Amino acid sequence: MSNLFDIAKKRILVLDGAMGTMIQRYKLDEADFRKDWFENHTSLLKGNNDLLSLTRPDIIKQIHFSYFEAGADIVETNTFSATKIAQADYGLQNFAYDINFHSAKIAREIAYEFSLKEPNKPRFVAGSIGPTNRTASISPDVNDPSFRNTSFDELNDAYQEQVNALIDGGVDLLLIETVFDTLNAKAALFAVEKVFESKNISLPVMVSGTITDASGRTLTGQTTEAFLISMSHFPLFSVGLNCALGAADMQPYLKTLARKAPFYISAHPNAGLPNEFGEYDETPEMMTQQIESFLEDNLINIIGGCCGTTPEHIKAISNLASNYNPRILN
């Protein structure tokens, strides 16, 4: 993957936008989440978007295609909630490997298609590794602060299965994203390290945290700089921020990362903050006006979008990013 490192030295890389936002456009029903795989499953499955890589791969392919066509260099696999921990809520923990493997294969197929068509602009697949729906550092029960609904070992085991499947499916790099609990992320990095050792390979690894509000801290209380220090034991390809905030609110925290980090810097903000209906209102033009300040201040190496962003947003971001040089490593 020296190719990816070489490209990152020369220009800003563009990541894709939201998967869930695009899936909503298809107005799917329960049958779409069961097709050919889960016809007789007893739990309701609608909303478990990761399953669509198995039941409606045509839709996931179309979404990846749209983002590459819009100018993305990297698309993320449809695996944000594909650990056996998260899938256990649906009684589908035994399908975690299948979801991750097939998701990676789908994205790899579309990336290969675009790379063949445009060899001067190779496309890459990032294996999306979400935080799970549990946290190792804080209690979900306000009446029992010492209680934990998961452990480092349980997280590590789930992440090892996910990483194995993503690599078997053909990803080029791994993206541990939306980190709200650094201990969860450390379990993911430990899993990555173990899988790399067992397979005798190494891939670039991105880590992206989430600042939850104007306090500038993660859910478990870390500042941006503390988060960076906690992740710096691993030889990362990049460190960055995503979700929770729009581009304007994210900028001061990106400045901290850009000033301190010895890694490339990534950002994929939301299309603003959700309105009273949970929808995102920022147009591509509005979002690029805010992102341009990232580029003018030379903060960024990898830029994309999170919740509420679409291929239209990514096209506008890609066009803008092509006019700027990437941040130089500290």
- Tell me the domains of the chain and their CATH numbers: 2-321 (3.20.20.330)
- Residues 6 or more apart whose Cβ sits within 8 Å of residue 174: 126, 127, 129, 163, 166, 192, 203, 204, 205, 206
pLDDT, residue 82, reads: 98
Give the pTM: 0.95
Mean pLDDT of all residues in the chain?
Answer: 94
pLDDT, residue 142, reads: 79
Q: Looking at 104-113, 134-143, 180-189, 306-315, which range is the least confident one?
A: 134-143
DSSP at 174 = E
Distance CA(190)–CA(253), nearest Å, equals: 26
pLDDT, residue 145, reads: 82
Helix (H) / strand (E) element for 228: namely helix 224-231
Distance CA(152)–CA(137), nearest Å, equals: 9
40-69 b/e (C-beta count within 10 Å ≥ 16 → b): eeeeebeebbbbbbbbbbebbbebbbbbbe
* Structural contact between residues 301 and 8, judged by C-beta atoms closer than 8 angstroms: yes
The neighbouring-strand residues paired with 302 are: 13, 266
What is the full DSSP assignment across 271-288? SS-B-TTS-B---HHHHH
- Using alpha carbons only, what angle is made at residue 166 by residues 133 and 17, rounded to the nearest 5 degrees? 65
pLDDT band at 200 (very low <50, low <70, confident <90, very high): very high
pLDDT, residue 148, reads: 85
Hey, what amino acid is at 105? K
276 against 29, higher pLDDT: 29
pLDDT, residue 143, reads: 84
pLDDT, residue 183, reads: 94
3-class DSSP state of 107: helix
Distance CA(150)–CA(184), nearest Å, equals: 10
Read off φ and ψ for residue 136, nearest 5 degrees: -85, -15
DSSP at 75 = E
Q: Exposure of 223 by Cβ count < 10 A (0-12 exposed, 13-18 middle, 19+ buried)?
A: middle
How many H helices and E strands in the chain?
Answer: 12, 8
Q: What is the 3-state secondary structure (H, E, C) of 109-139?
A: HHHHHHHHHCCCCCCEEEEEECCCCCCCCCC
pLDDT at 1 over 60: no
Q: What percent of the chain lies above the pLDDT cut of 90? A: 85
- Radius of gyration of the chain measured on its C-alpha atoms: 19
Instruction: Give the pLDDT mean for 292-306.
Output: 96
Q: What percent of the chain lies above the pLDDT cut of 70? A: 99
pLDDT, residue 219, reads: 87
pLDDT at 281 over 60: yes
pLDDT, residue 194, reads: 98
58-103 pLDDT, tens per residue? 999 999 999 999 999 999 999 999 999 999 999 999 999 999 999 9
